[in-house]
Structure 1
Amino acid sequence: MKVAIVHDELMRRGGAEQVVMTMLKAFPQADVFTLAYNPEGTYPEYKNYKVNTSWLQFLSKSVKWMQRLYFPFAIWAMKTLKVHGYDIVLISNTHSAKYVNIDDDAKVFIYTYTPFRLAWDPESYSQYNDSKGLSRLIFDYVINILKKIDKDAAQRGDYFMGMTQETGQRIKDAYGVQEIKLIPPDVKTRNFHLSDKPKEYYLLVSRLEYYKKADLAIEAFNELGLKLIVVGNGTKADELKQLAKSNIEFKKGLSSEELAELYANCKALIFPQHEDYGITPLEANASGRPVIAFGAGGVMETMVPYTGDASKSTAVFFQEQNEKSLIDAIELFETLKFDSKFIRQHAEKYDEKVFMSELKKFIIEKYEEK
C-alpha cells in the first residue's frame, strides 16, 4: 500500500503543519507533496523527509509572495504537480492541495480544516472588507471563480474528514459532501509540561493576522495594565506593536522548548478569535493552564467551560467579541482557582496517539473495502 500525503504549503508554523507531521507518523513511508516549501519557515522535522514541490517553489520565497501569486499561478502549479503511482492519497487541505494531478484508481482521502477561507468566507479578510467600487467588483469576480474551482476539485475526494461539527457542516455546505468522518487534530502533549509556580503574565500565541483578533486582546490589556506576552508574527505585527503599551511584550521565532516554558508559566492563554479548531488552547491545557476564549468555533467542542466549578473546567468563555466582554472574563478568571492536573488530563484525550489511531483505522478500513 503506497501512500502520498499532500499539503497546501509548507512555509510556516501552524496547526495544520503539525497535523501533517502526525499524518507522517501514522504513515512513515509516505511521500510528501506541496505547493512550496521553506525549510526555515516551517517546522524543522520536515527536513527529515523528501518534500516534492510544484514549480511555484521557484517563485514563492515567502508566504507573502505565495499569497500574491495564488490566483491563478498556485492553482495552475498544483494542477500540474503529478502525484502518480499511489494507492492512497491523503490530502491535508484548506486551499490548494486538492488540485494535484492524481491517478484515477487511487483512493483519495481529504482532511479539510475548513473550506478555502477566501472563497467561502471573504469577510474574514481586511483587504476584502476595505475594498470598494471597482476593487470590490474584481474581488467578487475572483471569489466566484475560486468557489467553482474549489468545489469542482473537492469532487475528486472519495472520503472526507473534518475537525469539528461546525467545520464538518461547512464542508457539507460548500462541497455537497454527504458523509464526513470527524477526527479532531492532535496536541503533542509530550512537548508540554506543568509548572509548580506559574508567573504573573498572560499569553497569546497566534499568527498576527486580521481575523485572529490579537488587537482585541491588546486593547483589553492596555486597559487592564496586566502583563501580556504575544508570541507570533504576521502582516499585522507592526501595527499591533504600535497599538500596545509597555505592559505588552512581543516574541517570535521561539524554539519548541521556549514556547513550552511560556505556556507552563502563564496564568492563562488568551484566545480572542473565532477559530475553526484552535490548537493553542489544547497546548495550553497540555501545560496545565486554562484558557480565556471567545465562546465560538472549535473551543466549544474542545474546552470544558467554567460554569461554577473551576476545578472541573479548562476555560472561561466570553460571549461578545469586544474589549469589555474580554475584560469581564479576565476579571472573573482572577477570582477562580483551576486544577492543573485535571486540565492536563483533559488535553491527553487529544494526544497524537489518539489521532494517529483513528486516522489509520479509518483510512485502512475504507481502502480495504474496495
Structure 2
Amino acid sequence: MTLKGGGEACVEELMHIYPQADLYCIVDYLDEQYRGFLKGRNVYTSFIQRLPGARKRYRSYLPLMPIAIEQFDLTSYDLVISSSSNVAKGVITGPDQVHIAYVHSPIRYAWDLQYQYLREAGLTRGIKSAIARTILHYMRIWDTRTAHGVDHMIANSGFVARRIRKAYGRQAKIIYPPVDIDRFNIGDVREDYYVTMSRLVPYKRIPLIVEAFRQMPDRKLVVIGDGPEMSAVKAAAGPNVTVMGGQPNDVVVSYLQRAKAFLFAAEEDFGIAPVEAQACGTPVIAYGKGGALETVLGRDGDNQTGVFFDAQTPDAIVAAVQHLDTRLHAISPQACRANAERFSTRKFHSNIQEVVDNAMKDMRGA
C-alpha cells in the first residue's frame, strides 16, 4: 500500500466485511491520514519493505516481487482473498484452502500495455530495452502459472474479465469495485463550467482535455488533482482553464455537483471518478473504451448519462462537448444518480459475501 487509490479502497471494504482478517502486502507506505480503516491491526510486509530506497523506488524491485509474495506463510488460514493488479494473486495456498482473487487487471505492463509502457519509459531499443523485455517475459510466465492456484477469480469489470480470459484462459465473475456513493448528493445549482479530476499521470490524458479547451475559449474548465503531469497541464492551459491542484473532499464534491459535465479521457479498467460525478447528478463526457463503457450510459437514448468520444484527440473531445449540448435535455440528474447506484459499497459487500459463502460451502462439501 502506498497511495489511497481504487485498489486500497477495495482492501478497505474487504476489511470492513471481514474485520478479523489479517493483511499482507509487498510494501506498506500508506500515509497516516489514510490508515484509519486498519483500526490498529498489524500489516505484514515482504522483505522488499526493508530494501534500500524501497519507499521511493519500490517499483524498481519488480523482478523480486514474485519471490516476495511467495514467501508469505498463509497455511493457517482457511480463506485467502487477494486484491491484485500486480502479484498478490501469486500467494501460495494449499488444497484445503480457498483462494479468491479479486483482479483489478492482469499485470498491465507485462501484457497488452507492454508496448505503451516501454515507449513511455524510453525503453524501445538498446540493452536496457532488452533487459526490460526479458523481465516482462518472465513476469508473463509467472503470472500465467500462478493463475492456476486461484480457486475463484473475480474481475472488477467486463473489460478486465476479457483480459483475464486472454491472459489466463479463465472465466471470471464480474463484481464492480466499491464507490462511496453516500459521499455525494445531486447538486441544486448548475454553473457554466466543466470539470475533470484525476491524479495527473500520463495515462489519464489530462493535458489532452486541457488542449481541447484551448480550442473552445468560450467554455470554462476546472482541473482538480496533482501529480507529475502538473507542468504539462499548466503549459497547455489557456485563460479559460483553472488548475486547482489537489483539493479536500468537500471542495471536490462541490465542484462535481455544480459542473455542467465531467470529462474523462483515460482508458481505464474501471474508473471511479465518472461514477462519482454521476452520483452528483453530473453528466460525463468519456473516452469510449475500457471501463467507461460499463459505468457511463453514453449512447443516445433513454436514461442516458453522458456521451462518448472515440479517439484520444482534442478534436474528438471538442466534438463530444458540442454533442452533449444537443443531448442535455435528455439527461437528467436522477438518471445519472440511479446509474451510479449500481456501483455502491453495499452492492460490493453483498456480491463479495455471496462468492465467499458459496466457495466455502463448496469446500466443506468436497
Q: TM-score, normalised to structure 1's length?
A: 0.89
Where does 1:221-370 land on structure 2 (aligned, <5 Å)? 221-225=213-217, 226-308=219-301, 312-335=303-326, 336-337=328-329, 338-370=331-363
Q: Give ranges in structure 1 of 5+ residues lacking alignment.
A: 1-9
- Are residues 1:141 and 2:134 paired? yes
Deviation of residue 232 (structure 1)? Answer: 2.6
Q: 8 Å contact 2:4–2:30 — kept in the other structure?
A: no
Q: 8 Å contact 2:195–2:221 — kept in the other structure?
A: yes
Q: 8 Å contact 1:13–1:41 — kept in the other structure?
A: no
Question: For each residue in 1:182-201, what CA deviation from the matched residue of structure 2 results, as whole angstroms up to 9, or x when unmatched?
Answer: 11112211111121113332
Q: Which residue of 2 aligns with 1:32?
A: 23
Question: For each residue in 1:10-51, what CA deviation from the matched residue of structure 2 results, as whole angstroms up to 9, or x when unmatched?
Answer: 111222221222222222222211112223288343342422
Q: 8 Å contact 2:29–2:55 — kept in the other structure?
A: no
Deviation of residue 289 (structure 1)? Answer: 0.7
Deviation of residue 175 (structure 1)? Answer: 1.5
Question: For each residue in 1:333-357, what CA deviation from the matched residue of structure 2 results, as whole angstroms up to 9, or x when unmatched?
Answer: 2342331122112211221111110
Alignment CA distance shift 1:42-1:119 (3 Å): farther
Secondary structure of 1:82's counterpart equals: coil
Q: Percent same amino acid at aligned positions?
A: 29
Distance 1:137 1:181 in 2: 36
Residue of 148, 159, 163 corresponding to 1:155: 148
Question: For each residue in 1:253-304, what CA deviation from the matched residue of structure 2 results, as whole angstroms up to 9, or x when unmatched?
Answer: 4333332222212221111111111111111111111100011111212221
Q: 8 Å contact 1:11–1:62 — kept in the other structure?
A: no
Code of the residue aligned with 1:223 in structure 2: it is Q
Q: 8 Å contact 2:190–2:257 — kept in the other structure?
A: yes
- Are residues 1:199 and 2:191 paired? yes
Secondary structure of 2:207's counterpart equals: helix
Question: For each residue in 1:167-215, what CA deviation from the matched residue of structure 2 results, as whole angstroms up to 9, or x when unmatched?
Answer: 11211211122x3111111221111112111333222222222222222
- Are residues 1:188 and 2:183 paired? no
Residue of 15, 36, 55 corresponding to 2:47: 55
Question: For each residue in 1:77-110, what CA deviation from the matched residue of structure 2 results, as whole angstroms up to 9, or x when unmatched?
Answer: 3222333411110000010212334455321001
Secondary structure of 2:76's counterpart equals: coil
Alignment CA distance shift 1:334-1:304 (3 Å): same
- Are residues 1:171 and 2:138 paired? no
**Range with bigger deviation, 91-100 or 254-263:** 254-263
Alignment CA distance shift 1:267-1:41 (3 Å): farther
Question: For each residue in 1:285-338, what CA deviation from the matched residue of structure 2 results, as whole angstroms up to 9, or x when unmatched?
Answer: 1111110001111121222124156xx211111112211111011122234233
Code of the residue aligned with 2:267 in structure 1: it is H
Q: TM-score, normalised to structure 2's length?
A: 0.90
Distance 2:134 2:258 in 1: 48
Alignment CA distance shift 1:52-1:233 (3 Å): farther
Distance 1:318 1:147 in 2: 32
Secondary structure of 2:337's counterpart equals: helix
Distance 1:239 1:62 in 2: 28
Code of the residue aligned with 1:263 in structure 2: it is L
Secondary structure of 2:215's counterpart equals: helix
Alignment CA distance shift 1:64-1:223 (3 Å): farther
Q: Give ranges in structure 2 of 5+ residues lacking alignment.
A: none
Distance 2:300 2:32 in 1: 40
Aligned pair count reads 357
Distance 2:2 2:283 in 1: 30
Distance 2:246 2:32 in 1: 9
Q: 8 Å contact 1:13–1:42 — kept in the other structure?
A: no
Code of the residue aligned with 2:261 in structure 1: it is A
Deviation of residue 112 (structure 1)? Answer: 0.6
Distance 1:290 1:278 in 2: 15
Q: 8 Å contact 1:38–1:61 — kept in the other structure?
A: no
**Range with bigger deviation, 185-194 or 299-308:** 299-308
Secondary structure of 2:342's counterpart equals: helix
Deviation of residue 235 (structure 1)? Answer: 3.1
Code of the residue aligned with 2:79 in structure 1: it is I
- Are residues 1:13 and 2:4 paired? yes
Code of the residue aligned with 2:293 in structure 1: it is M
Code of the residue aligned with 2:205 in structure 1: it is K
Secondary structure of 1:144's counterpart equals: helix
Alignment CA distance shift 1:71-1:248 (3 Å): farther
